[in-house]
């Protein structure tokens, strides 16, 4: 039977340890995260993916990883489907707040210049820093947003997300 890959909050199913130097799947299963629901892949009905139902209205897709220490990895990766190469931008943020504070995060903008599925891999070195982050060893949550930071949502957007992974080695962001 074909393995079905979609986003899942690992806190619900737990995490398994991975050997040093291997990629780590953060979300891969059958449950949705905020502002999203599991649906059939728009290009392959046998596969399930996470449909980001609020993307066209400016909502952010947010997830809280069970494993908050990302320091053994070098990049953040996910697959994204766009129904059109609309030229709009999305913002990826990874919150790393000292205790008792908010608004400290890593961030990276991505332009939607493709149609269909694309794997996006962002080396940690390409993220910018907002305020006083703790570090990649303490990521409380991550979000993908279509509004804010100069981003405006496309009212016709249909975005799907799949296979969010921490990568042990990566080339320049794709």
CA-atom Rg of the chain in angstroms: 15
What is the CATH classification number for the domain harbouring 86? 2.60.120.430
Specify if 2 maps to a domain.
no
Give the number of domains in the chain. 1
Q: Which structure tokens are listed for 136?
A: 């990649």
Per residue of the chain (174 residues), give pLDDT as tens. Answer: 323 222 222 222 233 333 345 777 665 444 446 678 888 899 998 888 889 988 999 988 888 888 899 999 999 999 999 999 999 999 999 999 988 889 999 999 999 999 999 999 999 999 999 999 999 999 999 999 999 999 999 999 999 999 889 998 755 444
Beta bridge partners of 107: 93, 128
Specify if 100 maps to a domain.
yes
Let me know: does 70 contact 90? Beta carbons within 8 Å: no
Specify if 92 maps to a domain.
yes
Residue 140: is it exposed, middle or buried by C-beta count within 10 angstroms (0-12/13-18/19+)? middle
Task: Say what the pTM is.
Answer: 0.79
């Amino acid at each position: 039977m074909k393995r079905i890959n979609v986003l899942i909050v690992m806190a619900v199913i737990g995490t398994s340890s991975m050997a040093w130097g291997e990629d780590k799947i953060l979300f891969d299963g059958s449950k949705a995260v905020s502002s999203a629901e599991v649906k059939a892949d728009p290009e392959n009905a046998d596969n399930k993916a996470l449909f980001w139902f609020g993307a066209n209205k400016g909502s952010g897709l947010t997830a809280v990883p069970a494993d908050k220490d990302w320091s053994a990895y070098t990049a953040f990766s996910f697959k994204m489907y766009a129904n059109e190469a609309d030229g709009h931008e999305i913002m990826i943020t990874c919150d790393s707040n000292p205790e008792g504070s908010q608004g400290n995060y890593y961030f990276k903008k991505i332009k939607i210049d493709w149609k269909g599925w694309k794997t996006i891999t962002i080396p940690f070195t390409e993220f910018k820093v907002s305020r006083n982050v703790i570090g990649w060893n303490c990521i409380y949550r991550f979000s993908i947003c279509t509004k804010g930071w100069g981003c405006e949502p496309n009212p016709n957007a249909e975005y799907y997300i799949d296979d969010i992974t921490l990568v042990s080695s990566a080339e320049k962001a794709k």
